[in-house]
Amino acid sequence: MLLEHRTAIITGAASPRGLGLATAKLFAEHGARVMITDLDEKAAAQAIASLPGKGHLSGRCNVTHKDDCLASVQAALKAWGQVDILVNIAGITSPQRLMDVDPETYTRVMDINMRGTMYMTQAVVPHMRERRQGSIVNMSSVSAQRGGGVFGGSHYSAAKAAVLGYTKAAARELGPDNIRVNAICPSFIDTDITGGMLTPDKLQAIVASVPMGRPGHAHEVAGCCLFLASDLASYVTGSEIDINGGSHIH
């Protein structure tokens, strides 16, 4: 098992068909103890109950509140004594056109996607530095690379591009501490968030633009998270990994 004796915090992981829960399940299957955090505390507890193995944790965390992020890490340390892996998945999309983005929407999209990534990273890094080990995986998007995706507007692209820049700068700064920081850039993935937003015609048009001829699945993103979190990627840091079926080749 790739993550035996490891512990992981995964944010935004309570959605039944989301990237976070798929990642949590795969990590647990590979021996990790997992903490799922989410705005919905009840859903997080239900998600944890679906994981194989023992010793898992759940809790409410608003990643835009630094105190919540610190409290989540402290709860994990109290229970486990260590945090080896952080996966920053909590995020939102927003489809407004450039001229329709209002200050409140801009702030919300930037805060949840970027500020949350920063706050959770700041919460866990002191402990990882003490132990001189750790892996942080941040969820960006193809939208950050190509200037727009399926659902997100310009402000979403900007937020996810900020996550990419932050990932690379953090990798450079934390490399001497043996803390690896990487990002994943998915394109259209069939999840709870995306599944109900498409008409059959729109879905067909999206699939037609993908060389592999289908949308991605949550377990395929989870597999990449597993690779980056494990010792298989022990010399991988500052990378952005595309999971897009060939829809953006660069």
Instruction: Indicate which residues carry an active-site annotation.
Output: 156
228 and 182 Cβ atoms separated by less than 8 Å: yes
18: closest CA among 53, 41, 44, 42?
A: 44
221: closest CA among 202, 243, 236?
A: 243
Q: Assign residue 159 a region: left if phi > 0, alpha if psi is -120 to 50, beta otherwise?
A: alpha
Helix, strand counts (H, E) of the chain:
10, 9
* Rounded Cα distance, 124 and 159, in Å: 21
What does DSSP say about strands 179-186 and 134-139: parallel, antiparallel, or unpaired? parallel
DSSP letter at 100?
G
Residue entry with tokens 């995306």: 194
* Rounded Cα distance, 35 and 113, in Å: 19
Angle at 157 between CA 152 and CA 158, to 5 degrees: 140
21: closest CA among 1, 40, 2?
A: 40
Alpha carbon of residue 158 to chain centroid: 17
